[in-house]
Structure 1
Amino acid sequence: MHPETPKIVAVRPHDDYTLTLTFANGERRLFDLKPYLQSEVFRALRDLELFRKVAVVYGSLQWPGERDLAYDMLYQKSTPLPAEVT
């Protein structure tokens, strides 16, 4: 049995289309959205102004236009960050 995946409590967007995610367990991870920007759903997020409007909603990420990503996928596809990286 796998432990429950922690939900996201904070997000910080970066101009290179990466996101610093802080999870409920205190872990900070980096997620790269660039590979997803080719899909029809996320293509509009190439606009940095729209990309920066990311918000934490119910522990997952959401952008205007009902674009969202689930916290469990974000946790699995992100890379752990050392404590000193922001």
Structure 2
Amino acid sequence: MNPWLLTAAVLLLAILPCGWVCLRGRLMERFAALQMAQLLSVIVLILLAEGYGRENYFDLAIILAILSFASALVYIRFLERWL
């Protein structure tokens, strides 16, 4: 196991507290945890791409980053009636 994959495994464990906050937090805390989990997922995909030497994972990370931005806008638009 190289350092890239080890770092990716540690960051995957860092997503667990984000999931807990998404389940139990208040509305804006859930949104912040969701955004943090999406950011960590993009970073994990980049680390996996480097660790395995596969360029396809870089493309997947870019697509996930773009979609997470778009989903944040949709999510906030949906929740603006309660904010």
Q: Shorter-chain TM-score category?
A: under 0.3
Between structure 1 and structure 2, the one with the greater Rg is 2
Higher strand share: 1
Larger helix proportion, structure 1 or 2? 2
